[in-house]
Amino acid sequence: MKIAFLSTFYPYRGGIAQFNANLYEELAKEHQVKAFTFSRQYPSLLFPGKTQYVTERDNAKVIESIAVLDSINPFSYFSSAKKIAKLEPDVVVMRYWVSYLAPALGMVAKLLRKKGIKVIAILDNVIPHERKFFDKPFAKWFIKQCDGCIAMSSSVLGDMLSLTPDKPYILQPHPPYDHFGAKMEKEKACERLGIKPDKKNLLFFGLIRDYKGLDLLIEAMGHLDDGYRLVIAGESYGSFDKYQEQIEKLITKNPSLAERIIIFNRYIDDDEVPAFFSASDLCVLPYKSATQSGITAISLHFEIPVVATRTGGLEESIEEPGIGILTNEISAEGVVSAIESYFHHPEKSIFVENIRKLKERMSWTSFAKAMVDFCKSL
């Protein structure tokens, strides 16, 4: 099969680019695949982080791609479709994760389908966590331009079907990331981070945004005993001040928290990821809303159990396969209870055993095969 893959690729950084690179490599084992990417993904004024691009410390897979699509230049929508069509692909694969990109991707999809080329979309989010009035109409319009969609969680699938109930689809979970390298010994990982391996280390990892509930986890630390340490690792999209003020108030009440809440408020380069997960006993996702989480995929790779709130697709990705514990409610109290339940569990090893079983089932090979079979069925 001849496949054109239009999405974000090297030199862009982030989980979606990493996912695309892994899937590209798997597809390329049996198919003719060509990657197309953005000449401009986000204007600098609209990008909340420090950079959209990989650095020397990122273990990014270098996928050769053609930069064609400028998200804010409508002329590029037509030229992009023309360049992709010249390849005469059997199918074009796109990723959809934010409504901002709906006009660009949707117009390219529409133009390609007019030429008789099939288009499918892998959906990360249909309705974003931080919602805007145009999210639903933009998503609905984009999905209508596609022949079919792949949802990676029941939550995303439900959102898709609420907008386009007749659209062909498959449900295929997010495979574990496998490009970060091997797990380290906890003591060595802690040494690299400058912390002692003397406590139960809780990890909050990834981009810091309001819907991810870091405030709930910080509040939870005020109720956990001195045997726990929280490591916050990720770049804040927005001001970190409110979290810092919350932490300082807790330290006033309990001075020991000054040494038990460790902050790395910056983008975590790929070569640092093994240390953060290897130093941790538990990854905590206190999300207030969610679809699926790429952080879970990293936790699977390093075989770190997860505590998460019962929201979105986290239930099916964590509780059902038994790789962690979900909270009874989305609150600091719920987070505390779930964390303590994990560490008091009489057979904690069962969580790692379940992770290993899940990793065997959720491979990139399985995802690629399911996608190709779905394309052929349309």
Which of 91, 86, 101 is closest to 37 using CA atoms? 101
Domain with CATH 3.40.50.2000 in the chain: 186-361
CA distance 283 to 269: 18
CA distance 110 to 90: 15
CA distance 113 to 119: 7
pLDDT band for 320, please (50, 70, 90 cuts): confident
- Range ranked top by mean pLDDT from 54-58, 97-101, 200-204: 200-204
DSSP for 241-285, please give it.
Answer: HHHHHHHHHHHHH-GGGGGTEEEE-S---GGGHHHHHHT-SEEEE
Domain with CATH 3.40.50.11930 in the chain: 2-175+363-377
Looking at residues 196-215, what average pLDDT do you find? Answer: 94
Question: Please, what is the average pLDDT of the chain?
Answer: 92
CA distance 208 to 230: 15
The CATH homologous superfamily of the domain defined by 186-361: Glycogen Phosphorylase B; (3.40.50.2000)
Q: What is the pLDDT of residues 295-309, one digit of tens each?
A: 998 999 999 999 999
Q: What is the pLDDT of residues 168-198, one digit of tens each?
A: 999 998 888 877 888 999 999 999 999 999 9
Whether the full predicted model's pTM is greater than 0.75, yes or no, is yes
Looking at residues 38-64, what average pLDDT do you find? Answer: 76
Question: Around 1, how many Cα atoms within 13 Å sit in the side-chain half-sphere?
Answer: 21
pLDDT band for 50, please (50, 70, 90 cuts): low
pLDDT band for 360, please (50, 70, 90 cuts): confident
Which residues are bridge partners to 151 per DSSP? 123, 171
Asked if 333 and 368 touch (Cβ cutoff 8 Å), the reply is no
Looking at residues 126-133, what average pLDDT do you find? Answer: 78
Would you state the torsion angle of the CA atoms of residues 170, 176, 179, 181, taken in this order, to the nearest 10 degrees?
Answer: -170
Architecture label for domain 2-175+363-377 = 3-Layer(aba) Sandwich (3.40)
H helical segments located in 32-165: 74-86, 102-114, 135-144, 154-163
**187's tokens:** 């003591």
Q: Which of 27-36, 40-49, 136-145 has the lowest mean pLDDT?
A: 40-49
pLDDT band for 79, please (50, 70, 90 cuts): very high
Looking at residues 350-372, what average pLDDT do you find? Answer: 93
- The residues, ordered by sequence, that sit 6+ positions from 81 with a Cβ below 8 Å of its Cβ are 107, 108, 111, 112, 115
Asked if 89 and 2 touch (Cβ cutoff 8 Å), the reply is yes
